[in-house]
Amino acid sequence: MRLAIPDKWQLILLAALGLVLGCVPSPLRAAEAEARVLMLYGLDPYIPTFLAMDQALREDLARNGTKRTQVFAEALDSQRFPLDTLEPDLAALLATKYRALQIDVVVAVSRTALDFYQRHGAQLWPGSRLVYVGFLGYEFKPAALPEGASSVLSILDVAGTIDIARKMQPDARRIVVVSGSSEIDTRTQQQARDAFEERPAKVPVDYIAGATLAEILARLAKEPSSSIVIYLTQFRDREGTPYEPFEVLRAVIAGSPAPVYGAAEPFVGLGIVAGSVSSYESKGRLIGEQVRRAIAGQQPDASHRMLQAPNRCVADSRALRRWSLDKKRLPEDCEIRFEEVPVWRQYWQEIFVTLGVVAAQAALIVALIYQRRRRVMAERAEQAQRAELAHVGRLAVAGELTGAIAHEINQPLGAILSNADAGDLLLDSGTDQRDKLRAILADIRRDDLRASEVIRRLRELLGKHHFEQETFDLNQVVAELEAIIRAEAKRRGVRLEFKREPDALPVIGDRIQVQQVLLNLVLNAMDAVQDQSDDRREVSVATTKSKRRAVLAVRDRGPGIPPQNLPLVFDSFFSTKTEGMGLGLSISRTIVEAHGGRLSVDKTGSEGTTFRAELPLANHKAGLQSSPT
Amino acid sequence: MSTAPLIHVVDDDASMRNALLRLLDAAGFDARGYASAGEFLLHPLPDRVGCLLLDLRLPGPSGLELQSALQEQGIELPVVFLSGHGSVESGVKAMKDGAVDFLTKPVKRELLLDAIGRALDLCLAQRSSRTQAMQLQARFASLTDRQRDIFDRIVAGRLNKQIADDLGIAERTVKREREQLMLKLDAKSAAELGRLAEMRARTKTP
């Protein structure tokens, strides 16, 4: 019993206040090269307070230590595993573990650890120096420390906490002090009474001491929200029921209409408004200093026998808000925790950088999209322009072809008229000539269709039209224009020869534009032989297959292109003809290249010139799939 | 039936050609079609009244070329041009070379038949003048050399006495030969002889 309560108390205080000076024994001596420190925890070493303290200690050693220091840790955890039964085994285990290991400093955290050290330290860690981390007052007197030991102690600053509470709520009508009835509880309560004696309250102070939890809550429920509640400690009520001070505090905070204050650091996170507490970080640093001194072989001063961790004001911004308290009333140096600093203030750099990156990315994306859009628009505009130019080109071609076109239309029209006249005459003759009449009508129908077909093709060729993608047979394109080309050749007295690749030549692209290329090349060829002697007035049009390309070759037997003109033939507005615009070949090349092909002068000389348009052959299957789009 | 005039149609467009043949047939003509100038030339030309209906543009030799070829060979066959796309120049040339008409397709029946009628008239006229010339030629051929000399001098306006002096024969002989000559040429007067001489000169020169 005697042990249990102090241990428990100690645990809570240590954990709660983070007062326990870093339990960090710094390893010393051992091999000359490195110092060894053993942290000997009497309780659970993973209590957050201890962890923070431990961290602060290690940081201190790393930053300020003159020697490389290794930190070991052992936990007695006497709260959960009673030492009564385990101590011999534990001691034996530790003896085995540390037999060959020289420990320079042992940091005993909590009274249990101190007691254990006093019983076994000399055997387990001979020659080690002791730094005690504990709580001033209730269970420890500095005189109990062995020679050469130092201690880092916390105090429960009840008076300071009461001062803060009064400052926060100057208009409070009542002050309620809650504590238990254990010995420690009584002492803390006494501290409160002392504080009020020193600075008397102008308002009534109620002490709820040793009440059961239910009674406490019932009492507090009646408190107006303007009251001040000071929670000290409650390990036990007057009926002897043990408590964890935490669980009492939690209930008090949940049930109290009035703001609650407390003096232990861990209370801050649980919902108290504020308190004067000692910081575990500063404790860690104090322990570090003592450990370093011990490693360095310096004897502790008198003051080091009992070093006190500083207390300071810590407040909880959530609790301030809960009870609508003005944080401006807090002491100036008060640390406000859990402040929900707007993220943008807390992480402004990260946010700034992130936003910057996001903005940069967004800008990049926008720029890319914009660029792409512009490119697409430019492509579209270019395509439209090309289509327009191609159209102008076709109109020009049509101008040259009017004779041939007239012929192609007049021929069937003439036949129709003559057939009709013949039919008329047959009817006039009065004899039954039905078979002849029927044949005449059939011919009329056929010629009519033929004429309209010519017109349809012309409309197709001459109409404005947008670039279209379809799969077509190059041979077919040539065949469709053969009649017109022949008519023109006849008109000009030019012999014409067609040679066709027997296989289909599937090409993807715009049929009309390819027809235009054909017409341009053929008309150019006819122009070239215009002034030639009869035997050379000859033009040939051939389609062939070459590797993966469909080839359209137009050959004339003209005088050839003079070498100085050769680089210019595909330029816009270059023409050697008096009436030419100089656009035909330039447009043709543009068209062929837009189809992924190539238009070139294959050969030229006194024997004539061959123009060669190559278009990529469509993979037949692919062609069928992506047919007219 | 061989009395009907024979129209030769040269057009490379089968449909047009057939329609024309059909029309001409219905109009009571004999008609034959050819697809090109060459095809026409390969066929023997029967000695019949007729004309040539000729397309201007043809594969191979053109219509105009065929026209001049026929003239060069002295084949008198009146030509009517029928063109799908006649230009002014080709029309002028055709007419200068003696074409009867220059029509464009599609052609109205009246225009076509009218042109063909005129061509046939021309053909008939040509044929009759050709017959006359041939008869004249035959008559002249029956003259003796002396009679031909006397004829030339009569036509030149010489008197019998002068002719006798020119030829160194008796005037009486001139008179006798002159009578025989006029019988052979079927002429009744010196003026008629002059006309014959003129005709002969005209048919001889070409």
Express each pLDDT in B69-91 by its tens digit: 998 888 889 999 988 766 778 88
Query: Do the beta carbons of residue A492 and residue A570 sit within 8 Å?
Result: no
The pLDDT, as a whole number, for residue A17 is 47
**Which of residues A94 and A431 earns the better pLDDT score?**
A94
Rounded to an integer, the average pLDDT of A594-600 is 88
Within 13 Å and on the Cβ side, how many CA atoms surround A332? Answer: 0
Tell me which residue in A436, A447, A490 faces B57 most closely, judged by beta carbons.
A490
Chain B closest-CA separation from residue A612 CA (Å) = 27
The set of residues, in sequence order, having a beta carbon less than 8 Å from that of A239 and lying 6+ positions away, is A212
pLDDT value at B115 more than 90 = yes
The pLDDT, as a whole number, for residue A583 is 67
Query: Strand A105-109 to strand A34-41: parallel, antiparallel, or no bridges (unpaired)?
Result: parallel
Span A275-326, pLDDT tens digits: 998 888 888 999 999 999 998 888 888 888 888 888 889 999 889 999 999 9
Cβ distance A418 to B16 less than 8 Å, yes or no, reads: yes
The set of residues, in sequence order, having a beta carbon less than 8 Å from that of B80 and lying 6+ positions away, is B51, B52, B53, B54, B99, B100, B101, B102, B103, B112, B115, B116, B119
Binning pLDDT at 50, 70 and 90, where does residue A365 land? very high
In angstroms and rounded to an integer, the radius of gyration of the C-alpha atoms of chain B is 23
CA dist A290 and A307 (Å) reads 10
Residues of A in contact with B15 (CB under 8 A): 411-412, 415, 443, 446-447, 450
Q: Report which of A239, A237, A262 is spatially closest to residue A250, judged by C-alpha positions.
A: A262
Rounded to an integer, the average pLDDT of A114-134 is 91
The pLDDT, as a whole number, for residue A528 is 87
CA dist A465 and B98 (Å) reads 49
The pLDDT, as a whole number, for residue A36 is 93
The set of residues, in sequence order, having a beta carbon less than 8 Å from that of A104 and lying 6+ positions away, is A25, A26, A27, A28, A29, A30, A35, A36, A37, A127, A128, A129, A294, A295
> CA dihedral defined by A55, A58, A60, A61, rounded to 10 degrees?
180
Residues of B in contact with A422 (CB under 8 A): 19, 22-23, 25-26
Number of CB atoms found within 10 A of residue A3's CB:
15
Binning pLDDT at 50, 70 and 90, where does residue A9 land? low
Phi first, then psi: give them for residue A106, nearest 5 degrees. -115, 125
Which candidate in B105, B109, B116 is best for mutational testing of the A interface (most A CBs within 10 A)?
B105
Please classify residue B66 by burial: count the beta carbons closer than 10 Å to its beta carbon, then call 0-12 exposed, 13-18 middle and 19+ buried: buried
Query: Strand A538-546 to strand B30-34: parallel, antiparallel, or no bridges (unpaired)?
Result: unpaired
Tell me which residue in B12, B22, B58 faces A440 most closely, judged by beta carbons.
B22
The pLDDT, as a whole number, for residue A131 is 93
pLDDT value at A381 more than 90 = no
Residues of B in contact with A403 (CB under 8 A): 85, 87
Q: In 3-state terms, what secondary structure has residue A292?
A: helix
Looking up tokens 């322990």, which residue turns up? Answer: A287
Cβ distance A414 to B105 less than 8 Å, yes or no, reads: yes
Q: Report which of A287, A282, A283, A297 is spatially closest to residue A131, judged by C-alpha positions.
A: A287
pTM: 0.47
Query: Do the beta carbons of residue A286 and residue A152 sit within 8 Å?
Result: yes
| CA A404 distance to own-chain centroid | 68
Cβ distance A425 to B26 less than 8 Å, yes or no, reads: yes
Looking up tokens 């010196």, which residue turns up? Answer: B190
Chain B closest-CA separation from residue A458 CA (Å) = 17
Looking up tokens 């047939």, which residue turns up? Answer: B25
Query: Do the beta carbons of residue B80 and residue B115 sit within 8 Å?
Result: yes
Tokens representing residue B154 in the block: 């009569």
Which H helix or E strand runs over A211? Answer: none
Chain A closest-CA separation from residue B42 CA (Å) = 21
The set of residues, in sequence order, having a beta carbon less than 8 Å from that of A251 and lying 6+ positions away, is A213, A216, A217
Residues of B in contact with A482 (CB under 8 A): none
Cβ distance B23 to A404 less than 8 Å, yes or no, reads: no
Binning pLDDT at 50, 70 and 90, where does residue A111 land? confident
For chain A, percent of residues with pLDDT exceeding 90:
28
pLDDT value at A32 more than 70 = no
Chain A closest-CA separation from residue B8 CA (Å) = 16
Residues of A in contact with B57 (CB under 8 A): 407, 490-491, 493
Q: Closest residue of A to B112, CA-based?
A: A418
**Which of residues A79 and B73 earns the better pLDDT score?**
B73
What average pLDDT does chain A have?
A: 84
CA dist B54 and B34 (Å) reads 10
CA dist A624 and B202 (Å) reads 76
In single-letter form, the type of residue at position A69 comes to T
Cβ distance A411 to B105 less than 8 Å, yes or no, reads: yes
Alpha-carbon distances of A319 from A263, A326, A327, rounded to whole Å: 15, 11, 10
Looking up tokens 């053909």, which residue turns up? Answer: B123
The pLDDT, as a whole number, for residue A91 is 93
Q: In what order do the strands lie in the sheet with B79-83?
A: B30-34, B6-10, B50-55, B79-83, B101-104
Q: Which of A223-232, A554-563, A566-575 has the highest mean pLDDT?
A: A223-232
Chain A closest-CA separation from residue B12 CA (Å) = 10
Cβ distance B84 to A424 less than 8 Å, yes or no, reads: no
Chain A closest-CA separation from residue B106 CA (Å) = 4
CA dist B61 and B36 (Å) reads 8
Cβ distance A443 to B15 less than 8 Å, yes or no, reads: yes
For chain A, percent of residues with pLDDT exceeding 70:
90
Provide the ipTM.
0.74
Cβ distance A490 to B58 less than 8 Å, yes or no, reads: yes
Handedness of CA A557, A559, A563, A567 (dihedral sign): negative
Q: Report which of B125, B137, B141, B67 is spatially closest to residue B97, judged by C-alpha positions.
A: B67
CA dist A277 and A312 (Å) reads 5
Cβ distance A417 to B107 less than 8 Å, yes or no, reads: yes
Residues of A in contact with B58 (CB under 8 A): 490
Query: Do the beta carbons of residue B10 and residue B40 sit within 8 Å?
Result: yes
Binning pLDDT at 50, 70 and 90, where does residue A21 land? very low
pLDDT value at A31 more than 80 = no
Q: Closest residue of B to A537, CA-based?
A: B60
Q: Closest residue of B to A446, CA-based?
A: B15
Chain B closest-CA separation from residue A526 CA (Å) = 15
Residues of A in contact with B108 (CB under 8 A): 417
Residues of A in contact with B87 (CB under 8 A): 403
The pLDDT, as a whole number, for residue A581 is 58
Q: Closest residue of B to A418, CA-based?
A: B19
Which candidate in B7, B10, B15 is best for mutational testing of the A interface (most A CBs within 10 A)?
B15
Chain B closest-CA separation from residue A387 CA (Å) = 31
Looking up tokens 């050969």, which residue turns up? Answer: A603
Cβ distance A407 to B85 less than 8 Å, yes or no, reads: yes
- The single-letter DSSP state of residue A342 is -
Q: Which of A371-375, A468-472, A576-580 has the highest mean pLDDT?
A: A371-375
Tokens representing residue A426 in the block: 């047959």
In single-letter form, the type of residue at position A581 comes to M
Q: Report which of A584, A529, A192, A147 is spatially closest to residue A400, judged by C-alpha positions.
A: A584
pLDDT value at A425 more than 70 = yes
